[in-house]
Amino acid sequence: MKRTVLDYALKIRLPLTLFVVAVSVILTFYLSRAERDSVGYKPDQPIKFSHKLHAGQMAIDCQYCHLGVAKDRHAVIPSANICMNCHTVSRKDRPEIIKLTQFYNTGKPIPWKRIHKVPEYAYFNHSVHVNKGIDCASCHGDVKQMDIVSQVKPFTMTACLDCHRNPQTQLPYLKTVKNGPENCWACHR
Amino acid sequence: MTKKIDRRSFFSTFGKGAIITAVVSALPTKFISSIDRVSKKEKINIVIHPSAVKRTKKV
Amino acid sequence: MNDFRKSSDKLWKSLKDYNEDPEILNAKNNEFMEGVTDDFDSSKLSGLSRRKFLALLSASAALTATACTNYRDKGEIIPYNKKPDDVLPGVANYYASTCNGCSQSCGILVKTREGRPIKIDGNPDHPTSKGKICAKGQASILNLYDPERLTDPLVLRKKTDWKSVDGEIINALNNSQSSGKEIAIVTGEITSPTTKKVLNDFVAKYPNTKIYSHSLINDQQRRDAWMYSYGTDEYPAVKWNDANIILALDADFLGSEGSYIENMRKHTQRRETNGKIDFNRLYVAEGRMSVTGMLADYRFRISPDSQYEFVMALINELSSRGSSIVLDSNVKSKFGKYSSSKFESLIGKDKLNYLINDLNTNRSKSIVYAGDTLPKEVQIAVNFLNEILGNTSLYDYANSFKSLVKHSSTEEISQLVDSMNNGKVGTVIHFDSNPVFTLPEDFGYASALKKAALVVSLSETENESSAAGNYSLPINNQLESWGDAYVRGGIYSLQQPVIAPIFNSRQKEAVLLTWIAGNSSTFNEDIYHNYLMNSFNADIFSKMDTLADAKTFWYSALNDGVVNIKEKVQPNKFNIAAFNNLNDLSSSKDFTIHLHNNYFIGDGKFANNGWLQEIPHPVSKVTWDNYAAISPSTAKNLNVDSNDLLHIKVGNRNLTLPAFIQPGLADKFISIELGYGRTVIGEVGKEVGFNAVNLMSKSVQSSPFFFSNASVSKAGGKHELVSTQEQHALDDTFVKDFHRIRKIIQEGTLEKYKKEPNFLHEEKEKLFSITNEVKYTGNKWAMAIDLNKCTNCQVCVASCNVENNIAVVGKEQVSKGRVMQWIRLDRYYSGIPDEPIVSNQPMLCQHCDNAPCENVCPVNATNHSPDGLNQMVYNRCVGTRYCSNNCPYKVRRFNFFNYRDDFADSYYENDLTALVNNPEVTVRSRGVMEKCSFCVQRIMEARSDAIRDNRTLKGSDVVTACQQACPTEAITFGDANDPTSPVAKLRDHNLSYHVLEELNVKPNVTYIAKLRNTHSEEIL
């Protein structure tokens, strides 16, 4: 029987196209997941600061360094002079501390690599979340156990809304918590 | 046959022209020409005046 | 394709081939020609084949591509190195200072973020401005970030450094001094007592120095009049809030003259519809249509040249009914010859009688006020009239208007020009002034400058005077300067820098101090700071009755921004001889030209400020231009229409500029605003407007601001005036009174309101909805605007522009209706073109509950929040513009271009100007729709603070930018669900209404109808 064009199209081309499309969509989805929600991003920092040592072992409170987290929108990466509060004296012969002191003395700010970033079209407000009792670990993971900080939770809008719509199950340690705002202008103003 | 060739060459020129226009219009010409301008300007220093007295009253 | 040749056919390539030449046969047998492989050495070939090379190339490219971009890279986050104590990133700091926009020197609070000033508002502690400033003050923040500011000292337009400049100028000053030549310092109006001290020190060091003070917009006529009448040139303020009747003569005291922010606040205290109604009545007699004229209950069209006769006629009428001062026969004969009959025909017998009766029955509780541009003869007559009526009890001597350095007279300036022409002037210093622009042509100042040995200009930007000189020295912007101000009695205001000088500029007083010291190295950043502190300790602190030490007191004064000092006030007696000796002025039959202050660019200093150029004129709504305003009947007589060029000739001075038909103007009268037409200025201000100083002259008969002997003719050609409102003819039947018919403006009179308080709601229809009503629990944001208080001053527009990063679009785009301001002030006329009744209405996004814009967005970029706001999400908007199409109020603005990129060749798209942006508000790019957001960034910030402090968010916690700026508190904002809030009460007010209520869009902006205080119950 002679093969018609339609035959050819239906039996060979169509399944082939569908297969290619499906594979590329699935591949792109999973391969780009890291880029889309940045889970697992663990860059090297200019100075090997270890949260495990400072926040975990030495139990320094998060808010000692991250000053703005309960006061205003930004959590604030600590400036060098906060580090030098202790490190003018403690461990000042270690190579990383020498790097730190050099930065401090030359007046150059330390260019930390940013890990957690909400896109610029969304205005995230730290103090509202912290003042409602939400623990740092609920979004940033167990930073106290991290030598090098990495992002462990996805920072997509879906992730935010999952918690906003269902805080009782997502944050079981809070006794009384209402749903977070769902309207656009809460974040996208 | 010539009609097909003419049609073909007509549309192929158009197609090429369209692609070239699209590419050229997408080129960052303003950005490239402004590299010169931007690189000449120095960094602007914003320094809070050391003797300024911040207002402490709740406005 | 089938091979149609027979297999036996032979194919041949050449004749040799055809002939079966043995050479060819041989060649066909060999694969290669002879000698082809002679130089072939396989060991010498590269090991990299073509195939391998291509593979390697593409693989390395792909690898580089992936390696180059770490797609997860989010950049860097960079903290401070040594964080300043005061600063927490994200939290704003406020600093108290003083504004230098005009000579009123209002107290300001500067809001800074991470060290950058981003907003200027009034200082609530300042007794006269009480937390409010004008549009110029609001938008003046852009001048700090002007890309064309002078950054370094220039000598003959070439960059140099301060050390050499100081050295050269000190030499020049010493030379001028030793050779007996004059050193002239030309300044604007001096408002700072410490600057005055520095100038005196300069004169002490270089005794040949003469100080000349000249400003284009001045109140010299009033000061001269006061000197004649009361023996002092310091005149008192007026207690407007205590006046039952106000008669303003060509006085725009609510719009552009004097301390108008204070005047507005005091005037509207008597326009309160909440609680007890105790309205004042405002009579305005003016030639032009000013903001004050728009608010008048009764308005008379009397041009400035007739004001003298008008005042005299009033004196005649009122003194015959009683007088608080003794009038002898001399005085009586002076005014006796003026009768009011001339004015009966001009303004109507009944209206004139109303005025006379009101002034008569409200003696000592009314005020007659003459404008700054009227000559001193009129001012003295007005003083006399107030004395007769006993209105002097309304003079507030506690905060009188001080005069630190007297304005130079025309004789003194002519003397300077003569000295310059005769080579007797060694150095001329322009001390933050622009005399080449502000002095009338016939002084010959510009040409005389060429004969001076050295001309130094100290200014923020290049201007006409610095371009005519040798040295252009950059001085600090007001936000980078130390200073003080003492312009009102008892109120000492301090100015502190909130930012260290961005460029290589210096404090202008510090420059003088360096030259006084005679050595360039005496300069450091602090010399004027220390000088100011010392002066403060000596003059202010020493007189204070306080337990604090000097340093603490200084810091607390800087914190507050204002020090109240006790001053003895002593009102003087009126000198009746001043009245007796008046030169009588007569009105003219020719054209009168009136030159006056503009509303937004000062004496030209703000001409390069895009925001201010784009704010529409309060009356005509014209942007980016000035014009010659003429009345409709005069226009008909001259056969001109708006935009036609007019040729105005006064003596041998002339000016050609476009006409603008302004309803309500006096006939045979033209009003032009000064300050436009700057030539040496940045890109924004270039060729904007026409310079009316060209019509001024040094030889004036009465006031330098109006001329009665002008001739006006139609010149050929047109100049397009761009206005944000349609300019219809008032008697066009299609649009006549449409705002009243469609109930956009609902008004009443006080008489009607007293009789029937509920008259506005009598005909209200009940509206029903076919959809489910949404229940709003919690906060529901709403706004109420009181039209009794709105003066169309545009400060709300300026404040919104600064707060929300509104882009400047330029004249051409405004002509297409693409102005980007989120709030606009509409102005409607009703009545007849020659005597219109004017209504003002602020219009902004109404945040409708049933918003017609929300239903039609194809991508759901605009929807409603649970607290009552209509949300506009920029990152979702695709630019369909269906929402703007549906909006009945037309308050949505679309970004047709990336205006920062498009305006004036990306003028405002640079690193410096980008610093003025408010970091809490998105900067919109091309293709998105924007509109008023009820300052959602402030709502969110207040909500965040409430959560931090563990309290509920109240409506009074949030103050929108427009509400904060409005000098009359016409705008109220708050929570409609809170029954105790002011806005909830205003929503239930007798006079409340919504615009286009019948559409049932349920707007959340409530308007309180205006009540006019006329003698009748009907408006028209």
**CA C257 to CA C477: how far, in whole Å?**
24
Question: How distant is the alpha carbon of residue C623 from its chain centre?
Answer: 12
The last residue of one of the domains, among C706, C723, C740, is C723
Q: What is the pLDDT of residue A163?
A: 92
Residue C503 has pLDDT above 60, yes or no: yes
Using alpha carbons, select from C859, C824, C841 the residue that is nearest to residue C929. Answer: C859
Question: How close does chain A come to C985, measured CA to CA in Å?
Answer: 27
pLDDT in tens, C40-94: 666 766 677 888 888 888 888 877 766 556 677 888 898 999 888 888 888 999 9
The token duo for C851 is 């918003």
Does residue C225 sit in the same domain as residue C345? Answer: yes
Provide the pLDDT for residue C736.
Answer: 83
**Contact C100/C120 with Cβ under 8 angstroms?**
no
Question: How many other C-beta atoms are found inside a 10 Å radius of the C-beta of residue C580?
Answer: 13
pLDDT band of residue B17 (cuts 50, 70, 90) is very high
Same domain for C548 and C412: yes
The contacts found for C936-942 with CB under 8 angstroms, 24 or more apart, are: C936/A185, C936/A189, C936/C869, C937/A189, C939/C781, C939/C867, C939/C869, C940/A123, C940/A125, C940/A186, C940/A189
C473 is a domain residue: yes
User: Tokens at residue A113, please?
Assistant: 């690599």
Mean pLDDT to the nearest integer, C503-519: 94
Q: Is A102 helix (H, G, I), strand (E, B) or coil?
A: helix
Model pLDDT, residue C346 = 87
* Per-residue pLDDT tens digits for A137-176: 999 999 999 999 999 998 889 999 999 999 999 999 998 8
Evaluate if residue B38 carries a pLDDT over 60. no
User: Does any domain span residue C30?
Assistant: no
pLDDT number for residue C40: 67
- The answer to whether residues C699 and C783 belong to one domain is no
Task: Give the CATH number of the domain where residue C849 resides.
Answer: 3.30.70.20
Chains A and C touch (3+ CB pairs under 8 A): yes
| pLDDT of residue B26 exceeding 90 | no
Backbone φ and ψ of C780, nearest 5°: -135, 110
Given pLDDT bands bounded at 50, 70 and 90, which one contains residue C726? Answer: confident
Share above pLDDT 90 across residues of chain C, in percent, rounded to a whole number: 76
Average pLDDT over every residue of C529-540? 94
- Average pLDDT rounded to a whole number, residues C270-290: 93
User: How far apart are the C-alpha atoms of C286 and A33, rounded to whole Å?
Assistant: 72
Digit-coded pLDDT (tens) for C768-787: 888 888 889 989 999 999 99
Q: What mean pLDDT is predicted for residues A19-40?
A: 85
C-alpha separations of A103 from A7, A45, A46, A54 in Å? 72, 14, 11, 20
- Taking residues C320-343, report their average pLDDT: 88
Average pLDDT, integer, range C87-110 = 93
Coil vs helix vs strand at C175: helix
The pLDDT, as a whole number, for residue C145 is 95
Q: Do C79 and A77 touch (CB under 8 A)?
A: yes
- Cβ contact A76–C937 (<8 Å): no
Give the pLDDT confidence score for residue C68 in this predicted structure: 57
Asked whether residue B59 carries a pLDDT value surpassing 60, the answer given is no
Question: Domain segments of chain B: what residues?
Answer: 1-59
Lowest average pLDDT, out of A56-60, C362-366, C718-722, C771-775, goes to C771-775
CB contact under 8 A, A184 and C943: no
> Which amino acid, one-letter code, is at A100?
L
pLDDT at A3 exceeding the cut of 90: no
Q: What pLDDT score does B37 carry?
A: 56
Q: How confident is the model at residue C25 (pLDDT cuts 50, 70, 90)?
A: confident
Alpha helix (H) residue ranges in chain A: 5-8, 14-37, 51, 62-65, 80-87, 95-106, 126-131, 137-140, 157-165, 167-170
3-state secondary structure of C811: helix
C798-810: b (≥16 Cβ within 10 Å) or e: bbbbbbbbbbbbb
pLDDT higher than 80, residue C880:
yes
Q: What angle, rounded to 10 degrees, do the helices at C527-539 and C193-205 form?
A: 110
> How far apart (Å, rounded) are the C-alpha atoms in residues C704 and C341?
29
Do C114 and C238 lie in a common domain? no
Question: Contact B53/C109, CB-based, under 8 Å?
Answer: no
Q: What is the predicted pLDDT for the residue at C860?
A: 94
Report d(CA C36, CA C34) in Å as an integer.
6
- Mean of the per-residue pLDDT values for chain C? 91
pLDDT tens-digit series, residues C653-663: 999 999 999 99
Q: Give percent helix, percent strand, percent coil of chain A, each to the nearest 5.
A: 50, 0, 50
Which chains form contacts with chain C, at 3 or more CB pairs under 8 Å?
A: A, B
C777 touches chain A (CB under 8 A): no
User: What is the pLDDT averaged over residues C202-224?
Assistant: 94
| Domain shared by C416 and C393, yes or no | no
Ramachandran bin of B28, using left for φ above 0, alpha for ψ from -120 to 50, beta for the remaining angles: beta
| CB within 8 Å of chain A, chain C residues 944-1003 | 944, 947-948, 950
Rounded to whole angstroms, how far apart are CA atoms C286 and C313? 16
- Per-residue DSSP letter, C451: T
- For C830, the 3-state DSSP assignment is strand
C-alpha distances out from residue C397 to C241, C254, C569, Å = 15, 20, 6
Q: How large is the average pLDDT for residues B7-20?
A: 90
How far does the CA of residue C389 sit from the closest CA of chain A (Å)?
58
Q: Residue C110: its chain B contacts at CB < 8 A?
A: none
Question: Using CB atoms, which residue from B46, B48, B59 is nearest to C94?
Answer: B59
Question: Same domain, yes or no, for C359 and C416?
Answer: no
B29, B46, B47, B56: which to substitute to probe chain C, counting the most C Cβ within 10 Å?
A: B46
Cβ neighbors of C299 (< 8 A, separation 6 or more) are C283, C284, C285, C286, C293, C664, C835
pLDDT band per the 50, 70, 90 thresholds, residue A126: very high
Judge contact between C260 and C106, C-beta under 8 A.
no
CATH number at residue C122: 2.20.25.90
User: Residue C765: pLDDT band by 50, 70, 90 thresholds?
Assistant: confident
| Counted domains in chain C | 5
Residues in Cβ contact with A153 at an 8 Å cutoff, skipping those fewer than 6 apart: A39, A139, A140, A141, A159
Q: What residues of C are in contact with residue A76 (Cβ under 8 Å)?
A: 79, 88-90
Please list the residues that pair with C826 across neighbouring strands.
C841
* Overall average pLDDT of the C440-466 stretch: 93
Contact exists between C and B (3 or more beta carbon pairs < 8 Å): yes
Say if strands C154-155 and C158-159 run parallel, antiparallel, or are unpaired.
antiparallel
User: What's the CA gap between C515 and C523, in Å, rounded?
Assistant: 9
Averaged pLDDT for residues C843-848: 96
Question: Band of the pLDDT at C13, cuts 50, 70, 90?
Answer: confident
> Which range of residues forms the domain containing residue C307?
221-401
Closest residue in A to C79 (Cα) is A79
Query: What does the pLDDT average to over C496-507?
Result: 94
Q: Is C79 on the interface with A (CB under 8 A)?
A: yes
pLDDT surpasses 80 at C213: yes
Determine the residue of chain C that is closest to A39 in CA distance: C72
C276 is a domain residue: yes
Which tokens in the block code for residue C906? 């990306």
Phi-psi bin for C174: left (phi > 0), alpha (psi -120 to 50), beta?
alpha
Over 60: is that where the pLDDT of C100 sits? yes
Q: What is the pLDDT of residue B27?
A: 85
Does the residue C178 lie in any domain? yes
A-C contacts at Cβ under 8 angstroms: 128
Q: Which chains touch B (3 or more CB pairs under 8 A)?
A: C
**What six digits make up the tokens of C444?**
């010959």
DSSP-derived letter for residue B41 is S
With beta carbons under 8 A apart, name residues in chain B contacting C526: 51
Residue C592 within any structural domain of the chain: no
What C631-634 contacts at long range (C-beta under 8 Å, 24+ apart), as own/partner pairs, is C631/C301, C631/C661, C631/C662, C631/C663, C631/C664, C631/C665, C631/C666, C631/C667, C631/C669, C631/C834, C632/C661, C632/C663, C632/C729, C632/C730, C632/C833, C632/C834, C633/C667, C633/C833, C633/C834, C634/C665, C634/C667, C634/C668, C634/C669
Q: Which of C27-31, C121-125, C545-549, C840-844 has the lowest mean pLDDT?
A: C27-31
Residue C552 has pLDDT above 90, yes or no: yes
Mean pLDDT of C552-573: 90
Substitution target from C69, C73, C81 for chain A, most A beta carbons within 10 A: C81
CA distances from C626 to C287, C613, C616, C629, C688 (A): 17, 10, 11, 9, 8
